[in-house]
Amino acid sequence: MTVFSAPDYDGHEHVSFGHDPETGLRAIIAIHNSNLGPGVGGCRMWPYENDMTALHDALRLSRGMTYKSALAGLPFGGGKSVIIGDARTDKTPALMQAMGRFVESLSGRYIAAEDIGMTVADMDEMATVTDHVTGTSATSGNPSPYTAYGVMRGIEAAVEYKFQRNDGLEDTHVAIQGLGAVGFDLARRLHEKGARLHVADINIEAVQKAVDEFGATPVDTHEIHAVDVDVFAPCALGAVINDTTVNELGAKIIAGSANNQLAEDRHGSALTARDILYAPDYVINAGGIIEIAHGKKFGGDHDDVEIYAHLDGIHDTLSEIFKRAETEGAATNFVADKMAEERFKTTI
């Protein structure tokens, strides 16, 4: 296996491979950049088909965290860890402690948070052997409502910019793909603002609930991206903007919580060419890491007033990205990357 020539290697500062023979732990910690602070990011447990796929994920995700934290105005660098294994069958308290010792071995250069395959109980187990972990029952709570609020503020920024209106979201039509932890809370918040909702989920109970509670219009999961609305909010899967869907989109704005919404960066340019305004995913969905930053682990007292004030910054950052993109004639995702780099590459 090669690291320095891996496709996702981007000058990463540090990559560690951890193995514990007792528990069978095989894990990777990647720190992309720590100019702004320690690498903070989720620990993901996934049954990767091979070591290279796991490395690819660790490199890609840690780089993403550098950009996300920089634009969220956080004193964090980018880090991420992956455990190779099936969270349903391979996870034991001893394995979590072994991962905790691996995190501890980096002396705080990386701070682990919850991600796919991990629970608050797992983070608690890791915390028995290291202080360099957050997302425990003692440090912070459920990030989804904060993420949903940030997405709603991002939608407001996009609507203001695109339609030159400053009178809120009344009668704005929003199509939400995915009514999970973030999507459903977003639907509630948008409904309270007077928006008209169109919703799709493979979970028909969630759809029915949105119909009953918010008067939402149900849409087929294969057609939600193509509905003729003001805003399409992807809140389920990645790569929803791809060669096929990019020509079928019915919305004037793409703004949702899903990670990695663009199949490739060039799809951002394709959206610009179609005059569709895209709120870059890692900017609009930063609510979770912002909430973590205000938790006890980082000396905060998880004060909601402070957290929501910080989340309001998502609106302002997006407004700046939209303006710069128009001035520079560039796609919003490229402008966001450039703005993040201006922040984390200049501080040593």
Residues forming the site for ligand NAD (CB under 6 A):
143-144, 147, 177-183, 200-203, 206, 221, 235-237, 257-259, 285, 288
Q: Least Å distance between CB 37 and ligand NAD?
A: 19
Count the neighbouring beta carbons within 10 Å of the beta carbon of residue 304.
11
Q: Least Å distance between CB 234 and ligand NAD?
A: 8
Which residue in the list 80, 91, 252, 297 is annotated as catalytic?
80
Interacting residues of 33 by C-beta distance below 8 A, sequence separation 6+: 11, 12, 13, 39, 63, 66, 77, 78, 344
Q: Least Å distance between CB 3 and ligand NAD?
A: 25
Our answer to whether residue 80 is catalytic in this structure is yes
Which residue lies nearer to ligand NAD by CB, 25 or 43? 43
| DSSP-assigned beta bridge partners for residue 176 | 199, 233
135: tokens are 């997302």
Q: Least Å distance between CB 289 and ligand NAD?
A: 8
303 burial type by CB count under 10 A (0-12 exposed, 13-18 middle, 19+ buried): exposed
Which residue lies nearer to ligand NAD by CB, 39 or 183? 183
Structure-token match 């407004």, residue found: 319
Whole-number Å distance between alpha carbons of 136 and 292: 10
Which residue lies nearer to ligand NAD by CB, 107 or 203? 203
SS3 label, residue 20? strand
Q: Which residue is nearest to ligand NAD (CB)?
A: 180
Which residue lies nearer to ligand NAD by CB, 25 or 236? 236
Q: Least Å distance between CB 281 and ligand NAD?
A: 8
- Candidates 58, 238, 253, 235; CA nearest to 147 is 235
Ramachandran angles phi, psi of 200, nearest 5°: -145, 140
Which residue lies nearer to ligand NAD by CB, 18 or 288? 288
Whole-number Å distance between alpha carbons of 53 and 59: 10
295: tokens are 């938790």
Q: Least Å distance between CB 145 and ligand NAD?
A: 8
Beta strands of the chain (E only): which ranges? 14-20, 25-33, 39-46, 77-84, 110-114, 173-177, 196-200, 217-218, 231-234, 253-254, 277-278
SS3 label, residue 286? coil
Which residue lies nearer to ligand NAD by CB, 16 or 221? 221
Residues serving a catalytic function are 80
